[in-house]
Amino acid sequence: MSAGPEEIARAVQRLRAGGLVAFPTETVYGLGAIARDERAVERVFLVKGRPAANPLIVHVSGEEMARTLTTAWSDHASALARAFWPGPLTMVVRRAPSVPAIVAGGGETVAIRCPAHPLTLALIEMVGEGIVGPSANRSGHVSPTSAAHVEDEFGTEIRNGEMMVLDGGACRAGIESTVVSLVGSEATVLRPGVIGASEIASVLGARVGSRSGSESVSDGAMSSPGRMETHYAPRTRAVMLERAEIARVVGDCNVPVALIAITGVGVAGVHRVIEIPRDAIGYASSLYRVLREADASGAGLIVIERPPEGGEDAEIWTAIHDRLRRATTPRA
């Protein structure tokens, strides 16, 4: 059930009173607080268990609001906003002094995005200023793509009145926004998402770099901590296998196995088979839901059939593989 105008009004009051409101977006649910309210932002870090050095995205209702958060809104930023907002693109730019340092993990930049969800756009418009929104999950865990997932993460905080959830239905895109830094001499994708580097490059008419590999919190100077190795992870150990390896691994395994498969073909001895769409868009929008379902199935091991790479939707598959790599453990 989608929230109505009364609930939006209640959410606005909550935010203005320094409270936390989980909100829907087209990617995943965010955990909102007014970005200028340092104490509320501190609560966001606390309830998530998020390291203080990992900066938050500020969600805005459009380009005009974005300009108030930065000292350097460039032509490039403007072109990307016009091409992709509202939508799953986050831009990292120089932080204005009005944005508290805590939002930026202590750094000099701020990440900004305008989400494509009518409820949340209305919420931000009514609040009249930017709201932070890390994914509404405990730090390191699978991101939520429905209000029920947020309740699974923060049942206690919701019951004791510390947090409310605006239900906006299931998220369409299903994986987090592309994060692109506009701070250096060339635009650089820090976190892949549904909007690919090549689409960004064609809007900018310039080369777009991309950072691969991973970092850890202990590295100190994190450029985008969503790139930490263990992230988006179910609580149950998960591995990714080629189709041909699955039967042997399941046969050798002495705990119940949940299998996430695109082929729809069952494997003998599997405790639970969860199907996931074969196309990139369908796969991305289902990924976190099926990971949560596998995690809740009572299995001792989650096996994920390796999905395709490359092809027509190569950049979406890149983003999916980025999340899968962080959700799984390499086999020893």
Binding site for ligand TXA (CB under 6 A): 25, 27-28, 30, 54-57, 88, 90, 92, 104, 107, 109-111, 113, 115, 133-135, 176-177, 179, 190-191, 223-226
3 state SS of 292:
helix
174 is in the binding site of which of Mg ion, ligand TXA, none (Cβ under 5 to 8 A by kind)?
none
Residue 102: φ, ψ to 5°? -60, -35
Per the listing, tokens 């202590």 go with 106
- Rule CB under 5 A: is residue 135 a binding residue for Mg ion? yes
113 is in the binding site of which of ligand TXA, Mg ion, none (Cβ under 5 to 8 A by kind)?
ligand TXA
Among residues 104 and 324, whose Cβ is nearest to ligand TXA? 104
Structural tokens at position 257: 């196995």
Rounded CA separation 308/274 (Å):
17
289 is in the binding site of which of ligand TXA, Mg ion, none (Cβ under 5 to 8 A by kind)?
none
Which residues, in sequence order, are CB contacts of 299 under 8 Å at separation 6+?
236, 255, 256, 257, 258, 271, 272
Among residues 66 and 259, whose Cβ is nearest to ligand TXA? 66
Among residues 173 and 238, whose Cβ is nearest to ligand TXA? 173
Q: Minimum CB separation from ligand TXA for residue 101, in Å?
A: 11
3 state SS of 311:
coil
Amino acid, single-letter form, for residue 73:
W
Among residues 21 and 258, whose Cβ is nearest to ligand TXA? 21
Q: Minimum CB separation from ligand TXA for residue 243, in Å?
A: 30
Q: Minimum CB separation from ligand TXA for residue 58, in Å?
A: 8
Among residues 168 and 299, whose Cβ is nearest to Mg ion? 168
Residue 234, preceding bond cis, omega within 30 degrees?
Answer: no
Q: Which stretch binds Mg ion (CB under 5 A): 30-38, 130-138, 185-193, 289-297?
A: 130-138
Structural tokens at position 107: 């750094």
Maximum distance among all alpha carbons in the chain? 60
32 is in the binding site of which of ligand TXA, Mg ion, none (Cβ under 5 to 8 A by kind)?
none
Amino acid, single-letter form, for residue 317:
W
Among residues 321 and 326, whose Cβ is nearest to Mg ion? 326
Q: Which stretch binds Mg ion (CB under 5 A): 128-136, 151-159, 276-284, 290-298?
A: 128-136
51 is in the binding site of which of ligand TXA, Mg ion, none (Cβ under 5 to 8 A by kind)?
none
* Full strand arrangement of the beta sheet holding 238-241: 238-241, 301-305, 257-261, 272-275
Among residues 62 and 308, whose Cβ is nearest to ligand TXA? 62
177 is in the binding site of which of Mg ion, ligand TXA, none (Cβ under 5 to 8 A by kind)?
ligand TXA
Residue 321: φ, ψ to 5°? -65, -35
Q: Minimum CB separation from ligand TXA for residue 255, in Å?
A: 30
- Rule CB under 5 A: is residue 177 a binding residue for Mg ion? no
In the chain, DSSP assigns E strands to 20-23, 30-34, 57-59, 89-94, 109-113, 131-132, 163-165, 178-181, 187-191, 208-210, 238-241, 257-261, 272-275, 301-305
Residue 259: φ, ψ to 5°? -110, 125
Q: Minimum CB separation from ligand TXA for residue 197, in Å?
A: 16
57 is in the binding site of which of ligand TXA, Mg ion, none (Cβ under 5 to 8 A by kind)?
ligand TXA
Name residue 178's beta-bridge partners: 89
Which residues, in sequence order, are CB contacts of 219 under 8 Å at separation 6+?
none
Contact positions vs Mg ion (CB under 5 A): 135
